[in-house]
Structure 1
């Protein structure tokens, strides 16, 4: 038996998931979207939406991972809507390499299929080699590259 479980989040999980989101997602560090309060409110809203899922990994009565996805009803550059958008994934550094990320991804994919989706999209930073390797090992493929230039 594993030392952790994957389950849908409850309202009591949103603060811990928000803390973990800020801790493990470096792009979430600045401004309002870098605050635990912002993500706690965001996750609370997600729990009350039919088109969103917040899934958590729990170990020893602590939230050690989370995943967030939502249904997009409009089309984008790569796919005609509706489709599932897998927006956030995080695992506590002390709990990595235990299969938690894969289990969270499986849960998001199951949720997406239960909503009738046949496509799931995500974005991953070009320099996130571990993330790229994980997603590619699970069958994800690059369909578009987004570029930017800073001044």
Structure 2
């Protein structure tokens, strides 16, 4: 477990590092997803997430250096579910030097608190089926497998 970690809301000053972290997420996911576009791609509208009332980006700092991030996004649920909205967690990134030390758990805890403060009791995330380390980490935090999306090309 890492000590002297500060979890805080991200701000515009963090944007350059967050954009680097986004590329880290994409690099980590490329081996699991042959459908990702070639070359440099982006996943998120981080500027929008920073100002939206329906999103929260949090970061972890160690010695004034950003080491991890994640976001929660309020999403409309499908009309047939028992909840109208849910919180979707994404952009989970931890710098390689700090992985396996509980930092992502601190990020998830902060995002869960934000979600609950918005009345969002259903919290979901997606992870690639072959990403066993991530699945095990999320299961340790209380997440359970729910559905598997399949594809053919």
Q: Classify the TM-score, shorter chain.
A: 0.7 to 0.9
Task: Give structure 1 regions of 4+ aligned residues with deviation exceeding 4 angstroms.
Answer: 76-79
Q: CA deviation at 1:4?
A: 2.0
Partner of 1:3: 4
Tell me the TM-score normalized by structure 1: 0.85
Structure 2: 5+ residue stretches without partners? 31-35
Q: Does residue 34 of the first structure (1) align with residue 41 of the second (2)?
A: yes
Q: Give the count of matched residue pairs.
A: 146
By relative contact order (CA 8 Å, sep 6+), the higher-ranking structure is 2
Q: Per the alignment, in what secondary structure is the counterpart of residue 113 of structure 2?
A: helix
**In structure 2, distance between residues paired with 1:118 and 1:137:** 19
Q: CA deviation at 1:81?
A: 2.3
Q: Does residue 20 of the first structure (1) align with residue 27 of the second (2)?
A: no
Distance change (3 Å), C-alpha of 1:66 and 1:72: same
Map Cα deviations across residues 16-68 of structure 1 (whole Å, 9 max, x no partner). Answer: 01101211333477468725xx75xx112111100001000111222110001
Partner of 1:43: 46
Q: Per the alignment, in what secondary structure is the counterpart of residue 21 of structure 1?
A: helix
8 A contact 2:9–2:57 mirrored in 1: yes
Distance change (3 Å), C-alpha of 1:78 and 1:135: farther
- TM alignment of 1:63-142, pairs within 5 A: 63-75=66-78, 80-142=83-145
Distance change (3 Å), C-alpha of 1:79 and 1:25: farther
Q: CA RMSD in A?
A: 2.3
My pick for the range that moved more, 92-101 or 69-78, is 69-78
